[in-house]
Structure 1
Amino acid sequence: MREKALLTNLKNVALVALLLSTSSVISQKKNKKDKDKTEQVTDSLKASKGKNYNDLVKKGTFKKGLFNTIQVKTDLYLEINDSLFQREFLVVNKISNVPMLVNEEGLNRGMNYENKIITFHKDLMAKKVWVKSSVPKVSSPVGDAITASVNANFSESIIEVFDIETKNDDSTSVVIKANKVFDGKQKSFNDILSNIGIGSSVKSELSYIESVKTFPNNIVVKSQLTTSINDNGIPSSVTIGITSNIILLDKVPMQARFADNRVGYFSEKHWYFSDNQQAVREKELITRWRLEPKKEDLEKYKNGELVEPKKPIVYYIDPSTPKQWRSYIIEGVRDWQIAFEKAGFKNAVIAKEPTDEDTDFDIDDVRYSVITYVASQKSNAMGPAVVDPRSGEIIESDIIWWHNVMTSLHSWMRIQTGAIDPKARGNKFTDEHMGEAIRFVSSHEVGHTFGLKHNMGASFAYDVESLRSPDFTAKMGGTAPSIMDYARYNYIAQPEDHVEAITPKIGEYDKYAIEWGYRWYANENEEHTALNNLITKHQNDPLYFYGEQQSLGTSIDPRSQSEDLGNDAMKAGEYGLKNLKRVVGNILDWTYDKDESYYETGKLYISAIGQWNLYNYHVLTNLGGIYLNPTVHGDNKASYVPVPAAVQKRAVAYLLKNSIALPEWLFFNPILDKTNPIKDTPLGPYEITPYTLARDLQYDILYKMLSDERLLRITENELFQRNKTKDNVFTVTQLFKTMRESIFASTIQNKSLTILERLSQKNYVDVLIVSANKLFEKTEPKKSIEIQENLSMPHLCDYLEESRMARNINQSFMKRVSEVTSDKKGELNQILQLLKIKRNSGNQETKNHYFDLIQRIERALNNTL
């Protein structure tokens, strides 16, 4: 048995040996085959790519710059010097040209849609160049122990790799073939379709690199990228021109300046770690240009003399801008000179048209900040910037100026100033009158490119009556202390006031904000002290108040609103309505154009209704409003101050008189013999009948007056002020009583109701039912026709992407166990009892109305039992 087992084992060993021997032979043959194949591929690459540097240069077009470029037919090679490896670059992708399908969606030339930090890393072992990307928003001191952890936990990511094609003669640079990152094959450098929201991929066979330019500190590559989109069920080809800039960033970033919520600047978030912390420090760096005095002017600057900056801010006017508007746009830029003088610099801001001396001028080159004129139906303008995220330094900025922005200006001026300015009444303005409006918009947008955010609180600094004074408005230069407010034109001044300064100008806040953001300091300690002192000096002066932008319709602070004027919305609204009534009475005459349709009439008419609705919203914010003060320790200011009870009562009275009681002069007038209000839509002009429009707008105001959040703020204010006298506290009970007695006044007096009175009662009851019983009812809040988007005066540069909006205060958690539901149900019951008593009073239409309301309320209340 043992011999048999031994024989079996020997056979097994022999078999294993045979298998191993065979495997070895096969492996050797395979390795030799793979080696031969690799050598063949390498030889092929050498032959096809021209591994010899000089041969490659001879074959193509060579340009010297940041990266030397070599173009061989359709191939683009970049030569990267050793000194550039591990340096930080910023990739900036911009739109160069678009077809109509994309233009209609609001994507236009000059728009910057993607920026990222990259570094190049040479790997001679693998014969590769790796590209890594990072988010440089974390810092720690060199030498701190935690720095090693910071480096490990916030490391770079590899986004691309290139083969090293060849080296230069002295091996101080390598050459890579860069086609794939610019022609759409790879998204690592340029992910246009994802960033603009087109859910498709680039068709590489229909895309190509158009041109390349290289300069000492940047490279500019233009490409044409094609994709296919679904256009109403039909596949359509879309080609978008892209310009990719790769910019070499400074080794030492600009000295960052920390944001302060008492001054409005766009900002970049940054985290700071150090060994001596007990918690990570999060700060925001404001975005600003690097303005510094020249070395030879330092002493003059420190002594308070105005000096020219080492490098001024220069804006170029797009050559495609119509000639009649260029000087006004330039003046709008130059108007900021006075503000930069407060920061110690003269001739800091320059605007000019490109000349023959600007031989390299390219509207898509990040070396040039351009006010880009866009042929589009869009009515807007905006001022974005390219920012170094390491420090907040603005590297370049492009103001996008849509041709149709003039339609917005035309509408604003006719509606807001037509009553007091004959120049603002016709279907077409003179070039001079439109030019001044363009100058104002230019100044506003340029302000954004300096880093300034909207200051919606500026206009509250001026007393309403002051805006009727020719002397005050001439002295202060406009409608608010900041051109960064949405304080359009003076709609408060009456014809008899003879006010002429009715256009927004650079104001006191603007000068203060530029001084705070741009005055140069030698070190961080000096800067910190000086900036705090500047804020402290002005903190109690309303001219220097900064109010964050809020969403229209859900605003909390009535001081910081869009499109409003003055410090009293009710008084301003009353004056505005007087002028608006004059405008409406003249719309047919002002829009008369022989043998033309009433299209312009209908458009101006709906703008007038939109202006009326703006006044409603301005007043509405006072109801349950809170003054939100940006505060710091030691300033002895309250952060949250309820709007005084007397002001809230006036707000309710205004809304009941001018909004809930619909103005017949606005909704039912001779204009309707010729046209309905007309709104432009993507599907063409859209007419809205006045009864439909009035019903919807009234419902919207009522719904927002009785929103849960607003009533909760009123209740909370009552709770915190319970020790004050009744006159100083406005309650939800008072609000409902006031509204009920007004809306049901004719019912209480046993009168027959008009159609509009019945409308108001139906809307009021429906708002209460929907909002009180939404947990139980199938009824949902009525979907209005997007009132603010469609009917209000047009908005300009509406920066939804602002890094900080007004504080988001949550008062709506667990609403079902708050007082709100009880209050609304209680009000429904009060109305029900009144209607049961009055159900047989009035004419038949009134009785039918009461019968309907009683059934609705009973059903709503019973459904919640």
Structure 2
Amino acid sequence: MRKKAILCNVKVIVALVLFLVGPISVFSQKNKKKENDTEIAKDSTFSKKGKKYNDLVKKGTVKKGLFNIIQVKTDVYFEIQDSLFEREFLIVNKLSQVPFQVNDFGFNKGMNYENKVITFYKDTVAKKVWVKSYLPKVSSPKEDAITASVKDNFSESIIEVFDIETKNNDSTSVVIKVNKIFDGKQKSFNDVLSNIEFGGSVLSNLSYIESLKAFPKNVVVKSQLTTSVSEGGPALSVTLGVTSNIVLLDKVPMKPRFSDKRIGFFTEKHWYFADAQQAMVEKELITRWRLEPKKEDEERYLKGELVEPKKPIVYYIDPSTPKQWRKYIIDGVHDWQVTFEKAGFKNAIIAKEPTEADLDFDIDDVRYSVITYAASQKSNAMGPSVVDPRSGEIIEADIIWWHNVMTSLQSWMRIQTGPIDPKARGNTFSDEHMGEAIRFVSSHEVGHTFGLKHNMGASFAYDVESLRSKEFTAKMGGTAPSIMDYARYNYVAQPEDNVTAITPKIGEYDKYAIEWGYRWYSNNDNERLKLNAIIASHQNDPIYFYGEQQGEVVDPRSQSEDLGNDAVKASEYGLKNLKRVVDNILDWTYDKDQSYYETAKLYIGTIGQWQLYNRHVLNNIGGIYLNVTVHGDNKQSYVPVPAAMQKRAADYLVKNAITIPQWLFFNPILDKTNPLKDSPLGPYEYTPYTLARELQCGILNDLLGDDRLLRMTENELYQRNGTKEKVFTVNELFKKLHQQIFAPTILNKSLTILERMTQKNYVDILIVSTNKIFEKTDPKKTVDLHTLSMPQLCTYMQDGEMIRNINQYSLKRVTEVTSDKKGELGKVLQLLKSKKNTGDESTQNHYTDLIQRIEKALSNTTF
């Protein structure tokens, strides 16, 4: 089983420590030691060692910087100035080299796998330097009585200790030997194996410190660390190149900005204690760059003039990036300029290739934000950041760009836009066409490094019919109001519409989000009121709606890969285009004397897109619109999807999913190849019957899931404002499914193979799900069914992002769901018994089998 990288959802340690004005962290009040360097000088042992400093410098090489690094052969020493003791540092650990085996697990150069805040303390009595770490997550006012308790209940932990080897000649610094924290002997500063889920320990005899660099605010140490991995076979040596940055944090952290659930930023949690409270206050700080006007431009900025920031955000392009793609990646970054102009800054972001002027450029140096190009078979891209957890300040961005991301882009474009764009049909695209797709992905990933989360609700703002309008799409410039949605290409537009603006672009929501997150306010301004005013001015316009990413989709407005405000209509248009793709797959993938590999891959991609449409529609059934509300906005927090929409969704599924489409699964393509999916074991072919059966089973399983049916029951029970508005009930759903699935049985017809397959899937889902209600197992555990999906980007961002969790797990055994499912099984049993002697032999055998299954299931159910 392939291990999953935990790097994909990069969350740096946690929240703010020091507030610029007001409450401050108790950890800034560190005990000052009475001893000083003169006491060290008086110590006879240190007097004897007085020569050692000069000997070290004479024998070794010295690199001056934050810590002077002294290297004597293989021994490495840090010279730490007294002024740096009790300052806070951030350790940032990254992968810089990986062997084939690790690459195959999904780990690549540039990935940030571990960060922690540390502080060095000098102990002149024990002649040691202690290193402590803590989570900068708690604050209290310095003068409050509770601060003493906060200090004791959220204290630092000792993670490392060093002997003081010597001191410099004027007694303003001490020297410690640091080999053990970088060569793998100790895990205190760098625990790479645990953080990438390899476990085990570093083999010190096969590991070494590779290189060292010192700069004014950070030091960079590169190491080669080797471990031994054995998974049922002979032991295998695996060597990882790792880079540790030790970065000096500012004495005064950036002024934080508190999050608002109505707009999507990544956050760091922070706890505030104070004597005046009746309960602790938890707040979330958004992650963002420190962007502020120069001192001389502040007045102009506050008057509304565009000014250049004191320090722009700079991204470097990895020199290993193929030359033909560099321009498009840079353009994708620069596309965000317009959003920062909305926040009052011009020339706020710069993307460039490193030049000879960048003498110290190093991809692994935390001073440089780099779009790293990874040679890998992985088809993905991601855009995490390194964050100062005290304030949410983004220090550096780590965008990882996997080479094979282009395979996903090509698949999307061929399937979603091939019918309306001849440039998107061949096995290979022109550099220009692929370049524009790369530009879109670059914009999306860079958006994450500005602190923006996915906004899966953005695409719901556009009416489906407007996506067929050449004028509308040209005006809006994209498929959704936000590049941070997973709104891919315009699969709604039909060939006769002549729509040409079919690629996702920066939208109005993006401008709004950047303005809210990055507009600068002077200390005297009431920032919170002004930020609330920005949201309030847009709260009734769907273009500015934020829909958070979900695990199990409860709110169908916030779905991945969908378009428009009507999933049924959008999917119907999508199916029309999908039929055109299927009709042309053999022609579009033709390559003389080549295998049908490209044909098979495109074919399975179209099936995946069909299943995607099914799920977009399905999630409207039992769906609830989840609105982030505040006092005074007169909005409802929970609004059931209208009954009419739910009924249309059920009709769509009956027609296009539960009834297996012959044009998709049984067509001339099968004379040449089966659908094919790549796997770690090589290409894997699916037969059409097996694939159709599994995908249909997956749809039925999700459609009849307990949580979905419980939400439908809740909606029936609780009707808004006491009105008797129409609802779509569980019984109506079962009736609709029953009438369709057993229609030929009711008419005494012989059943086809696919009709028998559908009845078996339906009955099996009811039996399995009913029995599982009574199992003494984890109530959240579900049936593990094979699913087929389109490739996605930023998968790392999906983990841990579900915030709204509607709890439907308690006591399912005694809910209406149990009664409804057993009731439906009883009706099916009664029908089958009355029809068991109708139809041909295969049909009668099928009925006998189902009758026996249902009777056994109902008799075995334990109460």
TM-score, with length taken from structure 2: 0.93
Partner SS for 2:114? strand
Measure how far apart 1:835 and its partner are: 1.6
Letter matched to residue 774 of structure 1: K
Task: Return closer, same or farther for 1:580/1:232 CA change in 2, 3 Å cut-off.
Answer: farther
Residue in 2 aligned with 1:598?
596
Residue in 1 aligned with 2:92?
92
What is the distance in 2 between the residues matched to 1:65 and 1:271? 35
Letter matched to residue 347 of structure 1: N
What is the distance in 1 between the residues matched to 2:321 and 2:524? 42
Letter matched to residue 386 of structure 1: V
From 556, 559, 575, the equivalent of 1:558 is: 556
Residue in 2 aligned with 1:7?
none
Letter matched to residue 372 of structure 1: T
What is the distance in 1 between the residues matched to 2:796 and 2:694? 27
Letter matched to residue 809 of structure 1: I
Residue in 2 aligned with 1:712?
710
Residue in 1 aligned with 2:496?
496
The answer for unaligned runs of 5 or more in structure 1 is: 1-41
Residue in 2 aligned with 1:21?
none
Measure how far apart 1:43 and its partner are: 12
Contact 1:712–1:812 (CA under 8 A) maintained in structure 2: no
Residue in 2 aligned with 1:848?
845
Residue in 2 aligned with 1:384?
384
Contact 2:50–2:167 (CA under 8 A) maintained in structure 1: no
Task: Return closer, same or farther for 1:727/1:284 CA change in 2, 3 Å cut-off.
Answer: closer
Q: Which has the higher contact order (CA 8 A, sep 6+)?
A: 2
Task: Return closer, same or farther for 1:723/1:307 CA change in 2, 3 Å cut-off.
Answer: closer
Counterparts in 2 of 1:264-663, with a 5 A limit? 264-523=264-523, 526-551=526-551, 554-663=552-661
Task: Return closer, same or farther for 1:135/1:782 CA change in 2, 3 Å cut-off.
Answer: closer
Contact 2:46–2:166 (CA under 8 A) maintained in structure 1: no
What is the distance in 2 between the residues matched to 1:846 and 1:802? 46
Measure how far apart 1:747 and its partner are: 1.4
What is the distance in 2 between the residues matched to 1:279 and 1:803? 27
Task: Return closer, same or farther for 1:595/1:725 CA change in 2, 3 Å cut-off.
Answer: same
Partner SS for 2:772? coil
What is the distance in 2 between the residues matched to 1:367 and 1:778? 53
Measure how far apart 1:50 and its partner are: 8.5
Counterparts in 2 of 1:26-37, with a 5 A limit? none
Partner SS for 2:795? coil
What is the distance in 2 between the residues matched to 1:685 and 1:802? 28
Contact 2:549–2:798 (CA under 8 A) maintained in structure 1: no
Measure how far apart 1:118 and its partner are: 0.4
Partner SS for 2:181? helix
Task: Return closer, same or farther for 1:267/1:328 CA change in 2, 3 Å cut-off.
Answer: same
Contact 1:340–1:346 (CA under 8 A) maintained in structure 2: yes
* Structure 1 residues 241-299: Cα deviation after superposition (integer angstroms, max 9, x where no partner): 01100000000000000011100000000000111000000000000000000000001
Contact 1:266–1:802 (CA under 8 A) maintained in structure 2: no
From 848, 857, 860, the equivalent of 1:860 is: 857
From 732, 745, 751, the equivalent of 2:743 is: 745
Measure how far apart 1:524 and its partner are: 7.5
What is the distance in 2 between the residues matched to 1:189 and 1:296? 41
What is the distance in 2 between the residues matched to 1:428 and 1:336? 29
Letter matched to residue 784 of structure 1: L
Letter matched to residue 766 of structure 1: D
Contact 1:184–1:207 (CA under 8 A) maintained in structure 2: yes
* Structure 1 residues 638-666: Cα deviation after superposition (integer angstroms, max 9, x where no partner): 11100111110001000000000000111
Measure how far apart 1:636 and its partner are: 1.0
Measure how far apart 1:722 and its partner are: 8.7
Residue in 2 aligned with 1:6?
none
Residue in 2 aligned with 1:784?
785
What is the distance in 1 between the residues matched to 2:292 and 2:841? 79
Measure how far apart 1:188 and its partner are: 0.5
Measure how far apart 1:311 and its partner are: 0.2
Partner SS for 2:92? strand
* Structure 1 residues 460-486: Cα deviation after superposition (integer angstroms, max 9, x where no partner): 000000000000000001100000000
* Structure 1 residues 23-42: Cα deviation after superposition (integer angstroms, max 9, x where no partner): xxxxxxxxxxxxxxxxxxx9
Measure how far apart 1:773 and its partner are: 2.2
- Percentage of identical aligned residues: 77
Residue in 2 aligned with 1:27?
none
Counterparts in 2 of 1:139-150, with a 5 A limit? 139-150=139-150
Contact 1:769–1:860 (CA under 8 A) maintained in structure 2: yes
Measure how far apart 1:844 and its partner are: 2.0
1:203 aligns with 2:192: no
Partner SS for 1:371? strand
Counterparts in 2 of 1:745-824, with a 5 A limit? 745-775=743-773, 783-785=784-786, 787=787, 791-800=788-797, 804-824=801-821
* Structure 1 residues 704-749: Cα deviation after superposition (integer angstroms, max 9, x where no partner): 1111111000001000129977761111111111110111111112
From 666, 671, 678, the equivalent of 2:669 is: 671
Decide which structure has the larger Cα Rg and report it: 1
Letter matched to residue 675 of structure 2: P
What is the distance in 1 between the residues matched to 2:825 and 2:238? 56
Measure how far apart 1:547 and its partner are: 0.4
TM-score, with length taken from structure 1: 0.92
Residue in 2 aligned with 1:249?
249
The answer for unaligned runs of 5 or more in structure 2 is: 1-42
* Structure 1 residues 673-719: Cα deviation after superposition (integer angstroms, max 9, x where no partner): 11111110111001111100000110110111111111000001000
* Structure 1 residues 118-156: Cα deviation after superposition (integer angstroms, max 9, x where no partner): 001011111101111011110111111111111111111
Measure how far apart 1:381 and its partner are: 0.3
Task: Return closer, same or farther for 1:85/1:725 CA change in 2, 3 Å cut-off.
Answer: closer
Counterparts in 2 of 1:103-142, with a 5 A limit? 103-142=103-142
Letter matched to residue 745 of structure 1: A
What is the distance in 2 between the residues matched to 1:85 and 1:58? 26
Task: Return closer, same or farther for 1:724/1:275 CA change in 2, 3 Å cut-off.
Answer: closer
Contact 1:777–1:860 (CA under 8 A) maintained in structure 2: no
* Structure 1 residues 33-69: Cα deviation after superposition (integer angstroms, max 9, x where no partner): xxxxxxxxx999999x985211211111011111011
Residue in 2 aligned with 1:22?
none
Measure how far apart 1:87 and its partner are: 0.3
Residue in 2 aligned with 1:697?
695
Partner SS for 1:193? helix
What is the distance in 2 between the residues matched to 1:454 and 1:265? 9
What is the distance in 2 between the residues matched to 1:248 and 1:678? 52
What is the distance in 2 between the residues matched to 1:504 and 1:723? 40
Contact 1:51–1:165 (CA under 8 A) maintained in structure 2: no
Residue in 1 aligned with 2:18?
none
Contact 1:453–1:802 (CA under 8 A) maintained in structure 2: no
Residue in 1 aligned with 2:40?
none
Task: Return closer, same or farther for 1:524/1:400 CA change in 2, 3 Å cut-off.
Answer: farther
**Number of aligned residue pairs:** 817
Contact 1:777–1:863 (CA under 8 A) maintained in structure 2: no
Measure how far apart 1:775 and its partner are: 4.7
Measure how far apart 1:781 and its partner are: 7.1
Letter matched to residue 355 of structure 2: T
Contact 2:50–2:169 (CA under 8 A) maintained in structure 1: no
What is the distance in 2 between the residues matched to 1:303 and 1:700? 58
What is the distance in 2 between the residues matched to 1:208 and 1:588? 55
Contact 1:315–1:368 (CA under 8 A) maintained in structure 2: yes
Measure how far apart 1:523 and its partner are: 2.6
Letter matched to residue 334 of structure 2: R
Letter matched to residue 629 of structure 2: T
What is the distance in 2 between the residues matched to 1:365 and 1:771? 53
Partner SS for 1:416? helix
Superposition RMSD in Å? 1.8
Off by >6 Å, runs of 4+ in structure 1:
42-47, 722-727, 777-781
Residue in 2 aligned with 1:728?
726
* Structure 1 residues 56-111: Cα deviation after superposition (integer angstroms, max 9, x where no partner): 11111011111011110001111100100000000000011011010100110000
